[in-house]
């Protein structure tokens, strides 16, 4: 696939989106084509029917190929789901020689040590994110490379997930005739698409309300501090409307989108919507006040669970305060009056996040909908990965051309560390190749 072109594949509970994007000359991303299909084999972010998921992926990919008039080969895939959890962990290494400066290898050694943590059966560490370092007891160090010291410590944010779920996603992608180029944690992808650097510095909580799960990512000082996946999303609201009003799911979904509100005080008692009865039965009349009461009850439950996670991070401490408040994104964020309800429950400033932070100015309104935040984030991630690979190749070629004594004596430039997700992608690929 040509350079500066990437494909994001968002495998969600309600929809699967394939999005093709390219970087223009101004460094912004142009979306060339989008394909969308109903997600049939995924429950709460986890694949539970391989055959149906493959069909849904192929349908979305075909639609995107037709829209962009090109063939898709490599994709960047997002992982989320109820099996993802995170924990805080501190670890240290003692360096053999404190007379030399701390380098990449020391940090890799420390990170690899964290990977040896014992997890529950079937679980594996997906992401190890260093928060801050300590060198010989000196705290709050952001970048220890180049410093002297004998003992290197760090606090880590560790993301854990079921490895079988990740392999199943890899399997679906490969069986759809695609090449798995990269794997990214979905809350991180959404965050890249909708948050500004200033917000990440000031402290912000991103809440991505999907169909099956609600993802949370908290940033402070530009570093991700906390992630969580709550196993409820827009689908449980639809389910409640279906049960509460005794109607079929399709009608419940339409009711939610057209007339739903998260704030019951908005509707007057006499506002009624009539729903056609099934097969010649009498139509049903539902008051909008009742509808928003049902929605309100479930949304409050979801928001309160998210708020518990924000408090677990330590938002109430002065040093950890999230100044930029909350950003809501995902399909569920389009519910009327949700912003007001979230502000009322949490007391934090809230805005709806549109994925237009890195998109070209003339992008369609469709693309900049919160619905596509994760897909846009995955495209950005794919483009970033390509640039990194290109730089590495150039460095390699330059290194091969002139390996001389002077070059050896010069200080080596600090190379960007490969994220563990890159290593995870390789391991999933190897596993799938050997499993054939």
DSSP string, 379-395: HHHHHHHHHHHHHHHHH
Quote the Cα angle for 251-252-258, to 5°: 85
**Does 289 map to a domain?**
yes
What pLDDT score was predicted for residue 391? Answer: 81
Rounded CA separation 415/311 (Å): 36
In the chain, % of residues over pLDDT 70: 94
Nearest to 327 by CA among 350, 345, 343, 307: 350
pLDDT at 405 over 70: no
Residue 410 pLDDT > 70, yes or no? Answer: no
Quick check: 2 pLDDT over 90? Answer: no
How many CA atoms lie less than 13 Å away from 140 in the CB half-sphere? 2
- Predicted TM-score of the model (pTM): 0.87
How confident is the model at residue 82, as a pLDDT?
A: 81
Pairing of strands 204-209, 214-220: antiparallel
Which residue shows structure tokens 């929809």?
15
- C-alpha dihedral sign at 390, 395, 399, 402: positive
Q: Is residue 318 part of a domain?
A: no
Q: Phi and psi dihedrals of 328, rounded to 5?
A: -100, 135
Residue 197 falls within a domain, yes or no? Answer: no
Helix (H) or strand (E) holding 56: helix 50-68
Give per-residue pLDDT as tens, 143-169. Answer: 999 999 999 999 999 989 888 888 999
Work out the pLDDT band at 128, boundaries 50, 70, 90.
confident
* pLDDT band at residue 419 using 50, 70 and 90 as cut-offs: low
With beta carbons less than 8 A apart as the criterion, state whether 17 and 10 touch.
Answer: yes
Q: Is 263 helix (H, G, I), strand (E, B) or coil?
A: coil
Q: Mean pLDDT throughout 354-360? A: 87
Segment 264-288 shows an average pLDDT of 84
Task: Say yes or no to pLDDT of 254 above 50.
Answer: yes
The pLDDT of 114-139, averaged and rounded, is 88
- Please report, for residues 12, 39, 53, 179, 304, the alpha-carbon distance to residue 46 in angstroms, rounded to integers and kept in the order given: 9, 11, 10, 20, 23
Whole-angstrom distance, CA of residue 29 vs CA of residue 207: 23
Identify the CATH number of the domain in which residue 244 sits: 3.30.420.40
Whether 15 is in a domain gets the answer no
282: in domain: yes
Q: End-to-end CA distance of the chain: give it in Å, rounded.
A: 25
- Please give the pLDDT value at position 124: 85
- Tell whether the torsion through CA atoms of 219, 36, 44 and 436 is positive or negative: negative
Structurally, how many domains does the chain consist of? 1
Residue 433: per-residue pLDDT: 79
The predicted structure's pLDDT at residue 314: 84
Within a domain: 114: no
* Residue-level pLDDT at 436: 61
pLDDT digits (tens, 9 = 90+) for 230-251: 989 999 999 999 999 889 999 9
**Domain for residue 370, yes or no?**
no
Q: Structural domain of residue 246, as residue ranges?
A: 234-297
Pairwise CA distance, residues 249 & 29, whole Å: 37
**Closest by Cα among 419, 412, 410, 394 to 103:** 412
Of 26-30, 98-102, 128-132, 406-410, give the lowest mean pLDDT range. 406-410
Q: For residue 157, tell me if it sits in a domain.
A: no
């Amino acid at each position: 696939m040509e350079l500066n072109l990437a494909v994001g594949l968002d495998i969600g509970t309600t929809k699967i989106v394939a999005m093709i994007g390219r970087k223009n000359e101004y460094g912004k991303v142009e979306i060339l084509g989008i394909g969308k299909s109903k997600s049939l084999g995924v429950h709460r972010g986890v694949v539970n029917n391989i055959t149906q998921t493959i069909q849904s992926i192929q349908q979305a990919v075909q639609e995107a190929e037709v829209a962009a008039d090109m063939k898709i080969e490599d994709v960047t895939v997002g992982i989320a789901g109820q099996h993802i959890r995170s924990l805080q962990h501190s670890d240290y290494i003692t360096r053999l020689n404190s007379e030399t400066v701390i380098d990449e290898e020391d940090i890799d050694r420390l990170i690899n040590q964290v990977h040896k943590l014992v997890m529950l059966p079937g679980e594996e560490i997906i992401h190890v994110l260093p928060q801050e370092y300590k060198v010989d007891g000196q705290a709050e160090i952001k970048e220890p490379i180049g410093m002297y010291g004998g003992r290197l410590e760090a606090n880590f944010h560790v993301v854990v997930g079921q490895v079988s779920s990740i392999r199943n996603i890899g399997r679906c992608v490969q069986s759809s005739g695609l090449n798995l180029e990269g794997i990214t944690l979905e809350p991180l992808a959404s965050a890249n698409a909708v948050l500004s650097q200033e917000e990440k510095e000031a402290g912000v909580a991103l809440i991505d309300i999907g169909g099956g799960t609600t993802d949370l990512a908290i940033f402070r000082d530009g570093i991700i501090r906390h992630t969580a996946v709550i196993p409820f999303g827009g689908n449980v609201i639809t389910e409640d409307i279906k049960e509460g009003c005794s109607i079929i799911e399709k009608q419940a979904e339409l009711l939610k989108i057209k007339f739903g509100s998260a704030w019951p005080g908005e509707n007057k008692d006499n506002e009624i919507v009539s729903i056609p009865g099934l097969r010649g039965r009498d139509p049903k009349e539902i008051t909008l006040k009742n509808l928003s009461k049902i929605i309100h009850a479930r949304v409050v439950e979801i928001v309160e669970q998210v708020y518990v996670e924000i408090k677990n991070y330590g938002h109430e401490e002065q040093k950890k305060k999230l100044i930029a408040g909350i950003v809501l994104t995902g399909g569920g964020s389009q519910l009327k009056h949700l912003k007001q309800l979230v502000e009322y429950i949490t007391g934090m400033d809230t805005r709806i996040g549109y994925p237009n932070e890195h998109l070209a100015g003339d992008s369609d309104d469709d693309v900049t909908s919160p619905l596509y935040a994760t897909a846009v984030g995955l495209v950005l991630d794919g483009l970033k990965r390509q640039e990194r690979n290109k730089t590495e190749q150039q460095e390699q070629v330059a290194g091969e051309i002139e390996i001389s004594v002077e070059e050896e004596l010069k200080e080596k430039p600090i190379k960007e560390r490969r994220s563990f997700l890159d290593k995870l992608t390789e391991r999933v690929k190897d596993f799938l190749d050997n499993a054939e």
